[in-house]
């Protein structure tokens, strides 16, 4: 079954709007694209479109939060984290304000719009800001859970969602805990752990199924919260298996692979690590699945990475 | 507070600014001195604030968008009773509640962290919008520098505040005509400034920013407008100290002992 993270965000936003009168939404002209337009239709008095002006959107959200409201800024990953980066840093993270940023169009998963709209640096940038929580769910169902968790916690949050449809993996009944990874498959014989974030989880699971046929049992772990990171789970995997492969639809610098490398290096366990991610290049336009395959984010790339470790 | 009392308070705040920046050995006296009457009028004649309850939900808000001028805010807050005057001696020192630029989490009475130019008006827009959403009657005052208006984000927020007709938002521009690299007119021309704001659908009033009668009249006028207002206050950078007046080098320079004594003697 397939689902869409943007649509899920739009749906849960309306549910939360009914439950919590403090939630307000700042749009930046692209509400029809981020799917925050549904909230605007139901709650026009709590939805504000500031036009194509992301710096003002983020900083206005900071102001709104100081009067006790819970502002959610809705835009694309590129603009939220780069056009308005310093506003996020100085007016949101430094004073630790209760501002939520939900950014669509993360990664090459964007596809045909090309590199201008493919946010491949966003998680790295947001992870480096003190006080910031960084979340990137893997499907539509977990987006809804993540948005609920985001609104329930105090403090700045960056939540990345994907543009295109992707497989639904989570069940409504599953528990989503911020800062806690989720083990998707494991056995006592696991040789390697694949740690994935976002859309790459479905590719990691497919890789694990193919590896199983080749006689290589692999554990698959989802890290949906890049910060704070579930270090305990990562270290447990490092102890249980021969090596770790990370998989992310993000530049190879500063994202999940880097975060895992930091934990492993400081633990001094000598764990071998192979990172699957965009190899520090700008990509191009194209159908997203083929595009991701071309830029090293394919199932075959994950399998090859695992085989380097066994 | 009577006009004579405001003038006396302004004198005390000028002395506080010079003494604290001298004690710190670092800081921004020029743009602090130019804003003394504006900030004094706000805290001692205009704004509804409670020093005993700095986070009171219904208080009027003040955002020092030109955050480097925080000595003037700190002096006003201390004189208003938000914290003891002795704290002013700790400006910019380790473990101080008085950071080099305003920090809302450290200083009682500071409504917003600032220091990176061009963001205060957006914050003020958000606060004023928040007052409307929550049905509160408080007003929001944002003090901007003239050089700061070169930041594009200022005009993003100007558009937005006019769109939402925020009649609870007052921007005050401390037009001292100088910025770090020289005269604003040389670095990046801002004129015709009043026309720019009018073109963004703001009500504009131009005043002498050192004249309390004009400041108070403008603030009273602001309350009667149907949307956001900007007060363009003509000021002198370094006002009150002859050798600092209209002198660009005093933007970010602390007076030494001799200079401090000379300056204090002039202020009286």
Query: A244-294 pLDDT, tens per residue?
Result: 999 999 999 999 999 999 999 999 999 999 999 999 999 999 999 999 999
Q: Do B133 and A46 touch (CB under 8 A)?
A: yes
Q: Do A64 and B127 touch (CB under 8 A)?
A: yes
Q: Give one word for A58, left, alpha or beta, with left for phi > 0 and alpha for psi -120 to 50.
A: alpha
**Residues A193, A84 share a domain:** no
A90 CB neighbours in chain B (<8 A) are 113, 115-116, 119
Q: How far is the alpha carbon of B59 from chain A, nearest alpha carbon, in Å?
A: 10
Going along chain B from its start, the domains and CATH numbers come out as: 3-267 (3.40.50.970)
- Cα angle vertex A180, ends A177, A184, to 5°? 95
**Residues A119, A235 share a domain:** no
Whether A93 is covered by a domain: the verdict is: yes
**Residues A205, A262 share a domain:** yes
A87 CB neighbours in chain B (<8 A) are 119, 122, 153
For chain A, say whether B117 makes contact (Cβ under 8 Å).
no
Would you say residue A95 has pLDDT above 90? yes
Would you say residue A190 has pLDDT above 90? yes
CB A252, CB A279: distance < 8 Å: yes
- Number of A:B CB contacts under 8 A? 109
**By CA distance, what is B159's nearest residue in A?**
A50
**Residues A72, A197 share a domain:** no
DSSP type of residue A1: -
Q: Do B119 and A63 touch (CB under 8 A)?
A: no
CATH of the domain at A58: 3.40.50.970
**Residues A162, A88 share a domain:** yes
For chain A, say whether B103 makes contact (Cβ under 8 Å).
yes
**Residues A28, A135 share a domain:** yes
CB A122, CB A106: distance < 8 Å: yes
User: CA-to-CA distance for B216 and B208, rounded, in angstroms?
Assistant: 11
**Residues A197, A129 share a domain:** no
Q: Do B130 and A67 touch (CB under 8 A)?
A: yes
Q: Label residue A298 by pLDDT band (50, 70, 90).
A: very high
Domain encompassing residue A254 = 182-308
pLDDT at B102: 98
Q: Using omega within 30 degrees of 0 as the cis cutoff, is the peptide bond preceding B192 cis? A: yes
pLDDT at B1: 87
**Residues A282, A150 share a domain:** no
Would you say residue A67 has pLDDT above 90? yes
Whether A287 is covered by a domain: the verdict is: yes
**Residues A153, A17 share a domain:** yes
A96 CB neighbours in chain B (<8 A) are 105
Residue B51 is encoded by which pair of tokens?
């020093």
User: What is the dihedral sign for C-alpha A235, A240, A241, A245?
Assistant: negative
Mean of per-residue pLDDT scores for chain A: 98
pLDDT at B93: 98
Rounded average pLDDT over A219-228: 98
B160 CB neighbours in chain A (<8 A) are 48, 50-51, 53, 56, 60
Whether A103 is covered by a domain: the verdict is: yes
Nearest to B130 among A45, A69, A87 (CB): A69
Task: Among A113, A144, A167, identify where a domain stops.
Answer: A167
Q: Do B130 and A95 touch (CB under 8 A)?
A: no
Q: Using omega within 30 degrees of 0 as the cis cutoff, is the peptide bond preceding A272 cis? A: no
Task: Among A135, A167, A199, identify where a domain stops.
Answer: A167
How far apart, in Å, are the Cα atoms of A51 and each of A57, A93, A266?
Answer: 9, 23, 45
For chain B, say whether A53 makes contact (Cβ under 8 Å).
yes
ipTM higher than the 0.95 cut:
yes
**By CA distance, what is B123's nearest residue in A?**
A63
Q: Which residues contact B92 (CB under 8 A, 6 or more apart)?
A: B24, B26, B27, B98, B99, B100
Chain B residues 179-198 with a CB less than 8 Å from chain A: none
Taking only the tens place, the pLDDT of each residue in B122-132 is 999 999 999 99
**Residues A218, A131 share a domain:** no
Task: Among A111, A140, A167, identify where a domain stops.
Answer: A167
Q: How far is the alpha carbon of A64 from chain B, nearest alpha carbon, in Å?
A: 5
Overall number of domains in chain A? 2
- Rounded percentage of chain A residues whose pLDDT exceeds 90: 100
Whether A272 is covered by a domain: the verdict is: yes
CB A73, CB A61: distance < 8 Å: yes
Q: Label residue A101 by pLDDT band (50, 70, 90).
A: very high
Would you say residue A237 has pLDDT above 90? yes
Mean of per-residue pLDDT scores for chain B: 98
**Residues A219, A163 share a domain:** no
Q: Do A90 and B115 touch (CB under 8 A)?
A: yes
3 state SS of B167: coil
Whether A172 is covered by a domain: the verdict is: no
Nearest C-alpha neighbor of B154 from the set B268, B71, B66, B36: B66
Nearest to A95 among B105, B125, B127 (CB): B105
Q: How far is the alpha carbon of A70 from chain B, nearest alpha carbon, in Å?
A: 10
Q: Do B160 and A96 touch (CB under 8 A)?
A: no
CATH of the domain at A250: 3.40.50.920
Q: Which residues contact B257 (CB under 8 A, 6 or more apart)?
A: B22
DSSP string, A7-60: HHHHHHHHHHHHH-TTEEEEE-S-HHHHTTHHHHHH-GGGEEE--S-HHHHHHH
Q: Give one word for A139, left, alpha or beta, with left for phi > 0 and alpha for psi -120 to 50.
A: beta
Whether A12 is covered by a domain: the verdict is: yes
pLDDT at B142: 98
Whether A173 is covered by a domain: the verdict is: no
**Residue-wise burial string across A127-160, b where 16 or more C-beta atoms lie within 10 A, e elsewhere:** bebeebbbbbbbbbbbbbbbbebbbeeebbbbbb
DSSP string, A165-207: -EE----TTSPP-TT--EEEE--TT--EEEEE-TTHHHHHHHH
* Interface mutation vs chain B, best among A24, A26, A56, A79, most B CBs within 10 Å: A56
Segments in chain B below pLDDT 50: none
Nearest C-alpha neighbor of A102 from the set A163, A147, A164: A147
Rounded average pLDDT over A196-210: 98
**Residues A154, A40 share a domain:** yes
């Amino acid at each position: 079954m397939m689902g869409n993270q943007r649509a899920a965000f739009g749906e849960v936003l309306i549910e939360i709007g009914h439950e919590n009168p403090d939630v307000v939404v700042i749009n930046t002209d692209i509400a029809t694209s981020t799917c925050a337009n549904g909230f605007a239709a139901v709650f026009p008095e709590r939805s504000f479109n500031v036009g194509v002006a992301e710096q003002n959107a983020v900083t206005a959200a900071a102001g709104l939060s100081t009067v006790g409201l819970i502002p959610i800024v809705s835009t694309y990953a590129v603009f939220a984290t780069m056009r308005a980066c310093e506003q996020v840093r100085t007016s949101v993270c430094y004073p630790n304000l209760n501002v939520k940023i939900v950014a669509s169009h993360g990664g090459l998963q964007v596809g045909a719009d090309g590199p201008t709209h493919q946010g491949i640096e966003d998680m790295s940038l947001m992870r480096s800001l003190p006080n910031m929580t960084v979340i990137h769910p893997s499907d539509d169902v977990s987006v809804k859970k993540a948005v609920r968790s985001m609104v329930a916690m105090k403090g700045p949050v960056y939540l990345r969602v994907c543009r295109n449809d992707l497989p639904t993996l989570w069940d409504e009944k599953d528990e989503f805990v911020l800062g806690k990874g989720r083990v998707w498959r494991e056995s006592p014989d696991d040789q390697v752990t694949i740690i994935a974030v976002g859309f790459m989880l479905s590719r990691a699971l497919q890789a694990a199924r193919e590896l199983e046929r080749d006689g290589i049992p692999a554990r698959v772990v989802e890290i949906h919260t890049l910060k704070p990171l579930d270090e305990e789970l990562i270290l447990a995997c490092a102890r249980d298996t021969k090596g770790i492969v990370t998989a992310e639809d993000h530049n190879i610098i500063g994202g999940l692979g880097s975060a895992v490398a930091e934990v492993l290096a400081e633990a001094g366990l000598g764990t071998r690590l192979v990172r699957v991610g965009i190899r520090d290049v700008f990509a191009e336009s194209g159908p997203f699945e083929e595009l991701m395959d071309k830029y090293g984010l394919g199932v075959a790339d994950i399998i090859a990475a695992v085989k380097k470790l066994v | 507070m009577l006009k004579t009392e405001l003038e006396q308070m302004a004198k005390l705040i000028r002395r506080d600014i010079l003494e604290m920046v001298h004690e710190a050995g670092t800081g921004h006296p020029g743009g602090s001195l130019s804003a003394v009457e504006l900030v004094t009028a706000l805290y001692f004649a205009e704004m509804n604030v409670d020093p005993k309850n700095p986070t009171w939900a219904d208080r009027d808000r003040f955002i020092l968008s030109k955050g480097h001028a925080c000595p003037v805010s700190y002096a006003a807050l201390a004189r208003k009773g938000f914290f003891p005057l002795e704290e002013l001696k700790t400006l910019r020192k380790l473990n101080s509640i008085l950071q080099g630029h305003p920090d809302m989490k450290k200083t009682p009475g500071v409504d917003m962290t600032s220091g990176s130019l061009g963001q205060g008006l957006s914050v003020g827009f958000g606060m004023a919008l928040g007052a409307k959403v929550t049905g509160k009657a408080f007003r929001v005052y944002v003090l901007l520098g003239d050089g700061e208006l070169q930041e594009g984000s200022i005009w993003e927020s100007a558009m937005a505040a006019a769109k939402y007709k925020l009649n609870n938002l007052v921007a005050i521009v401390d037009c001292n005509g100088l910025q770090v690299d020289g005269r604003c007119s040389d670095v990046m021309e801002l004129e015709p400034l009043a026309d720019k704001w009018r073109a963004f659908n703001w009500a504009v009033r131009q005043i002498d920013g050192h004249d309390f009668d004009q400041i108070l009249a403008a603030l009273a006028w602001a309350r009667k407008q149907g949307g956001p207002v900007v007060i363009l206050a003509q000021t002198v950078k370094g006002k009150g100290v002859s050798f600092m007046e209209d002198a660009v080098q005093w933007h970010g320079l602390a007076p030494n002992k001799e200079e401090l004594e000379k300056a204090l003697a002039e202020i009286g």
